[in-house]
Structure 1
Amino acid sequence: MSKTCSNFQRLHLHGPTMGTRWSVTLDAALSSQQQTALHQDLAAVLERVDRQMSPFRADSDLLRCNCTPPGQWLELPPEFLQVLDCALEVCRLSEGAFDPGVGDLVQAWGFGSASAPDPAAIGHAQQQPRPVTWEILERQGSRLRKQAPIALDLCGIAKGFAVDLMTAKLRQHGIQHALVALDGELYALGSQASGHAWPVAIESPEPGRRALHGVVELQDTAVATSGDYRHYFTLGNTRIAHSMDRQRRAPVRNDVASVTVLACSCMWADAWATALLVLGSNAGLALAQRLGLEALWLLRRGNAWVELGLGRWIT
């Protein structure tokens, strides 16, 4: 509640979730009771997404799905299926660059519940047949069954979906001016009460430190960034990033340090940021141009960053 614009106050709500933190900055005229109710509703939305899609919770719908044998129908929540449908659509459009069926690789490389790479598990995961994910999942309404063993992982899209749900909850509370953030995924709801767009920082992809690369101003737009500079570990002199390359059956390794995507849905932006990171600069740019995506790549060139942009980032 640091500043006033007309009858609105600048409010800041935040809390822990999914191993990170969420925050909402909003301009609104809310009583303390209304603020408390809004905070509780936002926290409940995030708890619901985590309970359904977390790979770290033994009671999550995701792990329940992964543990269900092939051929057996499983009833799943509508939101889980909504996220899976979007993940499979991006998987198809990106020809597998974004793949929700790489949970075994994520786990083997130490980015799941395991805290370190497991060479035996990596070898096993790399030797297994890896059918096209959307061809081995069958839907009948709210029921899903696998036609072959597969370990789903929705970490590349679930946070974006959570931001979309938080935004919808803010609208239900009558909020018109807010910036919603969860890790590297954000949504600008309307403008600031002053009428100015919300400024969102684009980080410089430097491991171990926070540095500003630039700022993009947003209104009624989602933004998501994927990169290899935050969630990684070092093996010898090599940085091993958390995003999996289905074709290599290993973590992504190319010249892309980060990709930032703008879209009307944060779930869509989140998935495409990962897909374009995995595709690399050449194939990623070609596909993004064909699909009309708005994106900014930061590429490593020696000790410098080179920008490659589409949409408002075309130079």
Structure 2
Amino acid sequence: MDSEINLKERLQQVLNTLEVDRKKIAETYQTCYILFGLTVLILMAGLFIGFVILGIICCLVPLIVGVVMYFRIEDDAKIYKNNFKTNVIGAALKEINETLTITPKSGFPKYEFISSDLFSTEPDRYKTEDMISGVNEKTSFYFAEVHAEYKTERQDKNGSTSTTWHDIFKGIIFVADFNKNFDTATIVRPKNFGNSVRSWFSKNVFNINSTQIVQLENTDFDNTFVTYSSDQIQARYILTPALMERILDLNSKSDGTISVSFTASKMYIAFPLDYNYFEAPIHETLLASNLLENDLSIVRFMYDIVHELDLNTRIWGKE
């Protein structure tokens, strides 16, 4: 109990210190916006009264000052945001479980995004951050925010090329050590994802010609997901009736239909999400009572997956 009180007191002290930095950064940004607005007004006034050159000269002063202030405060803002994640989020995670840690500048590796076979398209642009890892009894796990995109290019009649970016996935990918050993892969995707097996699996992992759709004994599961595997027996060994029910229950708590893969004795779960977690507010106070509500809610959700899917129950001697 004393340790919990001390932890909350230390967290409050950190928040009080960062609140001073936040106010300074917010006020500087506001000053920059005012200077940029003043630049536009001066330029418009010069155009309106016919003194264009004078208007351009006069607007340069607030513009230059605003730009210099903006770039200087950007460095302070980056430090502030990193301190928030490391010191505030990092300390708050300990209230959930002592093993939980956050590494803001690390994420879910691109090579693992591809090898997980959760998605059929390799990304052309990939961003990941805020890796959180921990141990729930016997099961180690980690998760991170991911935004993966692919591009399409089109040439117009003049020969100019335009690029359009499309989302492959945006959300959180969760990885846990699975409680059974297996040497093939099984993929569970939303029913509306598509049925192209050949576009599904990575060539370096699967024998595409031997991959099959697995018909399972849970009608609700088959109505929600389509399951692929190169080994029907092992797919059923992994997807027991109890696990299918737990995956359905987990899916019902998610904002979008989840995707799941079982490969290399690991379980991967992709949760589509639009919200960007673990970000420090700039123009809102750090001292609000509900400051960490959304962030800690998603961490608890991820932490509880181990119990939700009964991953601590080890099967056939796996430890």
Structure whose alpha-carbon radius of gyration is higher: 2
The structure that is helix-richer by fraction is 2
TM range (shorter): under 0.3
Whose relative contact order is higher, 1 or 2, with alpha carbons under 8 Å and at least 6 apart? 2
| TM-score, normalization by structure 1 | 0.26
The structure that is strand-richer by fraction is 1
| TM-score, normalization by structure 2 | 0.25
